[in-house]
Amino acid sequence: MLVLSDFFLKEGYEDGLRLLTGRGYDVFCLQVLSPQELEPDIAGDLRLRDVEDGDYAEVTISAPLLKRYKANLSAYCDELRTFCGRRDMTLLTVRTDTPIDVLLLDYLRRRGMLR
């Protein structure tokens, strides 16, 4: 079973992934993140909209906030990696700008997701 997601769900990813354990699947999680999520290049006062649910947040982007964002993102990805590892799920994080041939032929084949 291949699960493609950014795994940024307000209700959490845990319950959904737990449903896949113990059902005879080899579960491969592909976390897809944009370059802008990994290295935001924004500053100043902004009104951000969540494209999935339409929620808005007004923020002032500063260097300390970006540093905290990156630390939180890293911790979140580490928690996802630990969650998947404890359940024998394979996790691969990939950028959205990764060419599809590189993703399929290099990343997925090397990790055993494709033969």
Per-residue pLDDT for 87 more than 90?
Answer: yes
Per-residue pLDDT for 28 more than 80?
Answer: yes
Q: Residue 91 in 3-state DSSP?
A: strand
State the DSSP code for 114: -
Residue 63 is predicted with a pLDDT of 94
Residue ranges per structural domain of the chain: 2-110
**Given the DSSP bridges, would you call strands 28-33 and 56-61 parallel, antiparallel or unpaired?**
unpaired
To the nearest whole number, what is the mean pLDDT of the chain?
A: 91
Residue 113 is predicted with a pLDDT of 67
Q: Residue 98 in 3-state DSSP?
A: coil
> What are the C-alpha distances in Å from 97 to residues 2, 34, 103, 108?
19, 7, 10, 15
Per-residue pLDDT for 95 more than 90?
Answer: yes
